[in-house]
Amino acid sequence: MNGNSNAKDFLSIRDFSPSDIQYLLTLGRQVKAHPTAYGGALRRQTLAMIFEKPSLRTRVTFDVGIQQLGGFSLYLSPAEINLGKRESVYDVAKNLERMVQGIMIRTFSHEIVEQMAEYASIPVINGLTDYSHPCQAMADYLTIWEAKSHLEKLKVVFVGDGNNVARSLAFAGAQLGAHVWLATPPGYELDAASVRWARERGAETGGTCTVTNDPDEAASGADVIYTDIWASMGQESEAEKRKHIFLPYQVDATLFRRAKPDAIFLHCLPAHRGDEVTNDVIDSPRSLVFQQAENRLHAQKAIMLELMKGEFVKLPGLVELQELVHI
């Protein structure tokens, strides 16, 4: 990638090289530090935003982000499209590619996003699927980088369900040389194929991926402790069952004290306070959840800049960006 990529879409962290992910994070830091420098980069370009799942942060950050880059957004709810029912994915893709310059889609099935990317000739960005949440992971590691000044060898611990957020966190950690631990109840671990990929990529970057059912072991000496709600959208019927199973995995002050004294707490939000995290942790000075939420804006602006850049937009390469942000 490095500012001169042929990559068309942003569907999963694992689709890119470690230097690609480093480049996007570095560009995100540069955009955050100097927003006006990129104010006209996507002038008159339009991003169609397809929402099959509701969202606060995804909606606001993509909407505001494309406008801050000089472009426009178009919000499309299930009422307008109803993918696969009212209109096929193919027909939606072929319509939109003639009308807009990019598509962000937040939906349930990852297959829908893959099909949209296959059929549309314009960039497609995964705003969330049941399989992955790559934009969230980019914001996560941007936040960790800001707090810790580096990413390699950090112990990044996810406590909770082996879900889409955990998967993207593991993928990104493997790309960046971090030591990712996933502490889940038995039967709720991240799938073996995802763990295998993270370990294989980590072998190239110095990163690792450790799976455990012991939250105390995982939290011990952690640089970052991260959690998410126990029942995601579409799992509401399991909420009460999961609450009982996941209670020992609550991030409370006792668990957080096992981490390093300068450890930070992250949560992709929304949070169910009193369930996966207690108030004394999420509201503590070590909690960076709102900085993390803000960084969705900057990380996604970097992604849109790279994918939707016009032929007259010249973005700096990785080495140039590293010099600009002094890393």
Q: List active site positions.
A: 106, 133, 136, 228, 268, 296
Kindly report the CA angle at 125 between 111 and 86, in degrees rounded to 5? 55
What is the spatial distance between Cα 300 and Cα 65, in angstroms, rounded to a whole number? 7
Tokens encoding 272: 């169910």
Query: Residue 23's closest CA among 149, 141, 128, 155?
Result: 141
Instruction: Take residue 268 and report the two structure tokens written for it.
Output: 């992709």
Q: What sections of the chain are H helices per DSSP?
A: 18-33, 57-68, 89-96, 110-119, 134-148, 164-176, 192-205, 215-219, 239-246, 253-256, 279-282, 289-308, 318-324
Residue 226 β-bridge partners: 158, 266
The burial of 163, by beta-carbon neighbours within 10 Å (0-12 exposed, 13-18 middle, 19 or more buried), is given as: buried
